[in-house]
Structure 1
């Protein structure tokens, strides 16, 4: 009888909860928080983006969940649908990525400019100057 009462007490009437770990592509480490098993993927992505911004992580991502895709590291070929339940497949680890632009590829000059500004920021933050020693 004692065993039965312990099992009854451990059941959560609000639904099962579990810890998810979401790695954001380009960020230093995962974001971890507790979610309900029946939460939608869209709600979990929204919560992850809010946690990411609250912690002041880099790179700055934005808050529109329509710009992102959630994958499982076990099945990277298929993305999770926003209306899907987060606990439906039994996974606890995920990867959050920005969606690729749908309007085609950007021009070469704009991608070159973007990569230059990124390199300039990195060099400036590390303290590297753009001097090339002459021989």
Structure 2
């Protein structure tokens, strides 16, 4: 009986595997690991965050993959969709960035609107203005 040997240049059952490099914005160097071409972007972000934390890199990012966006380093397009496959972009170099905190900025702006400023503290907008100006005066 003759046994069949798989040739070395044929891909395995899981498809082709890629060595990708992900640069985290604000970090010293890229993270490199091997993924399958069919791996979705969300899973790649999750793997990158776990690898980043395991290596003890700074700044500390957290582990919620919904707070991050992945970009192709050599393509001028926007962020990759979390449901795309990583191999469909034809790139092996990526950039991982935190999502902008637009909701937090909007909430802070609503909290500090002129209508709510007068209602907090001692009562009038004039007292608020006087307190603000007194804080900014520096004495040496």
Normalised TM-score (structure 1): 0.70
Runs of 4 or more consecutive aligned structure 1 residues displaced over 4 Å after TM superposition:
none
CA displacement 1:100-129 (0-9 Å, x = unmatched):
012163769xxxxxxxxxxxxxxxxxxxxx
Aligned to 1:73: 73
Per-residue deviation, 1:82: 0.3
Aligned to 1:10: 9
What secondary structure does 2:48 align onto? helix
**Paired residues for 1:22-41 under 5 Å:** 22-41=22-41
Higher share in strand: 1
User: Structure 2: how far apart are the matches of 1:101 and 1:34?
Assistant: 31
Per-residue deviation, 1:89: 1.6
Per-residue deviation, 1:9: 3.9
- Larger of the two Rg values belongs to structure: 2
Per-residue deviation, 1:7: 8.3
The number of equivalent residue pairs is 104
What secondary structure does 1:10 align onto? coil
Per-residue deviation, 1:74: 1.7
Aligned to 1:117: none
User: Structure 2: how far apart are the matches of 1:60 and 1:17?
Assistant: 29
**Paired residues for 1:84-103 under 5 Å:** 84-103=84-103
Gap regions ≥5 residues in structure 1: 109-135
Aligned to 1:19: 19
What secondary structure does 1:46 align onto? helix
Aligned to 2:121: none
Per-residue deviation, 1:6: 9.2
What secondary structure does 1:103 align onto? helix
Check 1:59–1:86 CA distance in 2 against 1; reply closer, same or farther (3 A cut). same
User: Structure 1: how far apart are the matches of 2:14 and 2:42?
Assistant: 20
Per-residue deviation, 1:13: 2.4
User: Structure 1: how far apart are the matches of 2:46 and 2:14?
Assistant: 21
